[in-house]
Chains A and B, each alone.
Chain A
Amino acid sequence: MSGISLKSITKQFGDLTAVDAVTFDVADDEVLCLLGPSGCGKTTTLRMIAGLENATDGEIYLSGQDMTHLPARARNVAMAFQFYALYPNLTVSDNLAYPLHAEGDSTADIAAKLRDIAQVLQMDHVLDRFPHQLSEGEKQRVAVGRCIIRRPNCFLFDEPLSRLDVQLREEMRSDIKKVLSGLSRPTVIVTHDQLEAMTMGDRIAVMRDGKVEQIGAPQDVFNNPANIFVAGFIGTPQMNLVGGIVSGIGGAIAVSIGQDVIELTGELAQPGHGLKLGDAVTLGMRPRSASLESESGQGILSGTCELIEPMGAETLLRIAHPAGQIRAIVTDRQGLKEGGTIHVRFAQGSYRLFHADGNRIGDMV
């Protein structure tokens, strides 16, 4: 066994269960993004891997060794903190060299590694400065540099880009990704930003209330959300989630949404999902798979156009439907006006069907 392995890790603060039996593995050269809303337990999970938090229950293996009860300094992990945690009284080069002293490197080795890092992260010019003299972007680079200067068991990043502005964030995202891919060490990145998770992670673990809701490759999580929470959490604008009733199970499954009826084809149409007539289900559709129709009909949802939001190349429509608001993205907004009636069709195969308990029905479409 190698990389990182968590076995049913649990953390309780008094009565509050912050992390609830989380289990996952991170392979040697893999980047896992822990994604979730604030307070979901992702940072606590990261701190337990680092050894900064004592796990209430469960086991943590790093590089195949049981490290559950070792203190942080005995685990040989590198971590970049949300607020960078640069040592304010040390210069940038001393900051970068700090972890090397613990590894007992010689002065010459340290100097050589410093040169390498400074070059990789393009920060030769700031080496003699103190943290308070750095810009946000430079601080971030130093924090990353201090992580990657050694060969730890794993890399941990806590909200690494949250304090940067949009442009810098994009730049650092690709930089970090590039650097990490050259290091082939197991990496865990905590983030609440799905774009960050999608772009940087080899896999994403979506967390809520201390539990992992789904774990998988970014595209897989996006295409096949395991449940309503993941479906609603991933993707902007949010996936449409509307309640309906199963109104037909012969041949194809039909779902009534208000006065409209959607017949599902493809894999979802196959029997064997255990659905009965009259079951309450939730249908999910990505706004981008919508197209406009001129009149209502089978497979078409009709409602009143509430709001037209131009977003540059595309236009977001908010449609009042008896079953709830429906968002649709279209490229052409000719002839649309607020208050008018609108008919939209979502592409067959773009529908996701969820049980009343929130779990998705069926696999791939």
Chain B
Amino acid sequence: MAYRKAAFRKPGQAGWLYSLVTGVIALIYFFPVLWMILTAFKTRSDALAIPPKLFFTPTLDNFKSVFFRDTQAGDAVATGFVQYFVNSAFIGGSSVILALIIGTLAAYAFSRYPLKGNDTYMFIILTTRMLPPIVVIIPIFLMFRVTGLSGSYIGIILLYTAFNLPFSIWMMKSFFDDLNPEIEDSARLDGSNDWKVFFRICLPQVLAGLAATAVFALILTWNEFLFALLLTGSDTRTVPVAMANTIGGEIGVDWGLLSAIVSLFLIPVFIVTFVLQKQLLRGVTFGTIRK
């Protein structure tokens, strides 16, 4: 990374000293997460030590015991968390794929074939995303109880599909709106029908946006707590609910173990934050702010 002497630096450019200062501030800000990760590598006694230990010999025991529990016979038995991680991934993945297919088609229509009252539809769709979960959770809970969907995969996947749909529509519409319409006109003149224009010309141009939308939706679903708390059963429980149950324990929390679970849970989120830094603004504002 080339940088110039301070005396002749372009405005808005800074050197390593600045990095150092910013680094310290960033680390302080990041400290709660860091502390949790450190705790995950501590033995039980290190985790409980007072004063808290910043330096210690790390151990992977906590990570092992997330997935396996030693029985008295000395066998390693899988804990429920394997299932919970699989559930989170499966439920999240299926609902995001569904929401993305339905949402992308709708977004394309909202962008290219505006209906009467297009803006009103878009507003209502955004509102369904902005509304507090508590408003819909009561009837959905009743609905699921009546239809027997409560505690099933289908139920929670459907719900998360609807939960991800407004986000997907707004995001994808913002990507479609960014495209140059001349390119589609040109494809029509070159003899393509509307379907070919969509699949061959439009879709390839928004692939990066599609990927970003998918990943953001995945994270939102991965993190979701309240719906999962009320609508998953013991077989379909996701990680956030399982984690929350762990802190609810009365006999004192096993912080090392809990930290290990949280750390594992965070890995995908960090990767995504790093990779999608450019799309982050659009992602966290549902595509309403692009730049």
- Complex contact A50–B205 (CB within 8 A): no
Q: Say whether, besides A71-B188, A102-B191, A85 and B204 are in contact (CB < 8 Å).
A: no
- Complex contact A99–B182 (CB within 8 A): no
Q: Say whether, besides A85-B182, A86-B183, A78 and B189 are in contact (CB < 8 Å).
A: yes
- Complex contact B190–A50 (CB within 8 A): no
- Complex contact A89–B189 (CB within 8 A): no
Q: Within 8 Å CB of B204, what residues of A?
A: 88-89
B269 at interface, CB cutoff 8 A = no
Distance (whole angstroms) from the CB of B275 to the closest CB of chain A: 21
Q: Within 8 Å CB of B188, what residues of A?
A: 51-52, 71-73
- Complex contact B205–A72 (CB within 8 A): no
Q: Within 8 Å CB of B193, what residues of A?
A: 73
How many A-B contacts are there with CB distance less than 8 Å?
61
Residues A83-107 near B (CB distance < 8 A): 83-89, 98-99, 101-103
A148 at interface, CB cutoff 8 A = no
Q: How many residues of B contact A (CB 8 A)?
A: 15
- Complex contact A79–B201 (CB within 8 A): no
Of all chain A residues, the one with the shortest Cβ separation from B203 is A89
Residues B178-222 near A (CB distance < 8 A): 180, 182-183, 185-193, 201, 204-205
- Complex contact A87–B201 (CB within 8 A): yes
A81 at interface, CB cutoff 8 A = yes
A304 at interface, CB cutoff 8 A = no
Main DSSP-derived SS at the B contact region: helix
Distance (whole angstroms) from the CB of A152 to the closest CB of chain B: 8
A77 at interface, CB cutoff 8 A = yes
Distance (whole angstroms) from the CB of A74 to the closest CB of chain B: 9
- Complex contact A50–B183 (CB within 8 A): no
Q: Within 8 Å CB of B187, what residues of A?
A: 87, 98
A203 at interface, CB cutoff 8 A = no
The docked-state distance in angstroms from the alpha carbon of A75 to that of B185 is 13
Q: Within 8 Å CB of A76, what residues of B?
A: 191
- Complex contact B186–A79 (CB within 8 A): yes
Q: Say whether, besides A87-B201, A89-B204, A89-B205, A102 and B190 are in contact (CB < 8 Å).
A: yes
The docked-state distance in angstroms from the alpha carbon of A75 to that of B189 is 8
Distance (whole angstroms) from the CB of A285 to the closest CB of chain B: 42
- Complex contact A79–B183 (CB within 8 A): no
The docked-state distance in angstroms from the alpha carbon of A132 to that of B180 is 14
Distance (whole angstroms) from the CB of B211 to the closest CB of chain A: 14
A327 at interface, CB cutoff 8 A = no
Q: Within 8 Å CB of A84, what residues of B?
A: 182
Distance (whole angstroms) from the CB of A99 to the closest CB of chain B: 4
Q: Within 8 Å CB of A81, what residues of B?
A: 182, 185-186
The docked-state distance in angstroms from the alpha carbon of A102 to that of B197 is 12
The docked-state distance in angstroms from the alpha carbon of A240 to that of B9 is 53
The docked-state distance in angstroms from the alpha carbon of A26 to that of B201 is 32
The docked-state distance in angstroms from the alpha carbon of A71 to that of B183 is 16
Distance (whole angstroms) from the CB of B194 to the closest CB of chain A: 9
Q: Within 8 Å CB of A50, what residues of B?
A: 185, 189
- Complex contact B180–A72 (CB within 8 A): no
Q: Within 8 Å CB of B183, what residues of A?
A: 85-88
Distance (whole angstroms) from the CB of A136 to the closest CB of chain B: 15
Residues A46-61 near B (CB distance < 8 A): 47, 50-52
- Complex contact B180–A85 (CB within 8 A): yes
Of all chain B residues, the one with the shortest Cβ separation from A84 is B182
- Complex contact A73–B180 (CB within 8 A): no
- Complex contact B191–A77 (CB within 8 A): no
- Complex contact A73–B182 (CB within 8 A): no
- Complex contact B186–A85 (CB within 8 A): yes
Distance (whole angstroms) from the CB of B199 to the closest CB of chain A: 11
Q: Within 8 Å CB of A224, what residues of B?
A: none
Interface centre among B180, B183, B190, B204 (most CB of A within 10 A): B190
Of B180, B191, B205, which one neighbours A83 at CB under 8 angstroms? B180
Distance (whole angstroms) from the CB of A96 to the closest CB of chain B: 10
- Complex contact B205–A73 (CB within 8 A): no
Interface centre among B186, B191, B204, B205 (most CB of A within 10 A): B186
The docked-state distance in angstroms from the alpha carbon of A276 to that of B186 is 56
Q: Within 8 Å CB of A98, what residues of B?
A: 187, 190
Interface centre among B188, B189, B204 (most CB of A within 10 A): B189
Distance (whole angstroms) from the CB of B208 to the closest CB of chain A: 11
The docked-state distance in angstroms from the alpha carbon of A346 to that of B190 is 53
Of all chain A residues, the one with the shortest Cβ separation from B197 is A73
A352 at interface, CB cutoff 8 A = no
- Complex contact A73–B191 (CB within 8 A): yes
Q: Which residues of A contact B (CB under 8 A)?
A: 47, 50-52, 71-73, 75-79, 81-89, 98-99, 101-103, 146
- 14 residue pairs of the A-B complex, CB under 8 angstroms, read A47-B185, A50-B189, A51-B188, A52-B185, A72-B185, A72-B188, A73-B192, A75-B189, A77-B189, A79-B186, A85-B180, A85-B182, A87-B183, A101-B191
Q: Which residues of B contact A (CB under 8 A)?
A: 180, 182-183, 185-193, 201, 204-205
Sorted nearest first, the 10 A-B pairs with minimum C-beta distance are: A102-B191, A99-B190, A89-B204, A85-B182, A85-B186, A72-B188, A81-B182, A85-B183, A73-B191, A52-B185
